[in-house]
């Protein structure tokens, strides 16, 4: 009977470790999915950033080409 206590304790400990390992595995899988999604967003953000840069450049060019002359109020 005395020899069963360590065996049962070891079995419980292994069960607890396995449960924690499963939770860690699930968290790792979730993290990998999130990292993949962030990678996809990074590519999209690069495109948006390039579009914004191009828009700023075009707006600056339009502003240079079409500057308004000061109003002449010498009536």
Boundaries of every domain in the chain: 36-64
In the numeric block, which tokens belong to residue 21?
Answer: 């390992």
pLDDT in tens, 23-71: 999 999 999 999 999 989 998 999 999 999 999 999 999 988 888 766 6
| pTM of structure | 0.49
């Amino acid at each position: 009977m005395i020899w069963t206590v360590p065996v049962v304790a070891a079995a419980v400990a292994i069960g607890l470790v396995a449960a924690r390992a499963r939770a860690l595995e699930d968290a790792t899988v979730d993290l990998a999915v999130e990292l993949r999604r962030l990678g996809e967003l990074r590519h999209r953000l690069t495109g948006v950033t390039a579009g914004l840069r191009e828009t700023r450049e075009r707006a600056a060019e339009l502003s240079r080409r079409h500057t308004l002359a000061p109003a002449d109020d010498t009536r």
